[in-house]
Amino acid sequence: MNYYDVGYVVNTHGIKGELKVASKTDFPKQRFAKGSQVYLKTSLKRIPLTVDGCRTQMDLYLIHFKGYDNINDVLFMKHHLLQIDEKAHQQINLKPDQYFYQQIIGLKVVDVQGHPIGTVSNIMKTGANDVWVVSRPGKHELLLPKIKQVIKKVDFSHHQVIVQLMEGM
């Protein structure tokens, strides 16, 4: 079975078993909704967890899991990934021009003339729109806003993204 990363446990929060989680998903409200099931990936196994509550604090999510009501119960979860299974992954219906992060990360980036630019290495959520981070050999990373003026086509058959660089990029 395939598993997909949806969060990273940064730290504990308070003494009642809450965790600070950095989202690694484009759908945090659905993934961390009360009653949702996620898995904590440790070096030895995946532990199923049920979300009992979730709220935001700045750019992190404060999540409480059923049955973990004390800071001592959750200390071992620090610095581990939260994942979902294939079934949960399939439950999200994407709109046209909407993609899962793992579909985009790793794609080659070329300009509209076909010249190679680099590879999408990360995606940053900025509020207004996502920003795709492009790693370029021997150069600084390039930040591409996910807007129609820049991202012209996502071509999965050729494993690439075609972009129109704006002036100054």
pLDDT score at 72: 98
Give the chain's mean pLDDT: 93
Pairing of strands 116-125, 108-111: antiparallel
Domains of the chain: 3-90 (2.40.30.60), 101-163 (2.30.30.240)
Is the entire prediction scored with pTM above 0.85? no
Q: Are 36 and 50 in contact (CB under 8 A)?
A: yes
88-138: per-residue pLDDT in tens?
A: 888 888 888 888 888 899 999 999 999 999 999 999 888 788 999 999 999
pLDDT score at 160: 97
Res. 169: pLDDT tops 70:
no
Give the CA angle between residues 98, 102, 108 to the nearest 5°.
90
Give the CA angle between residues 39, 21, 128 to the nearest 5°.
115
pLDDT score at 140: 94
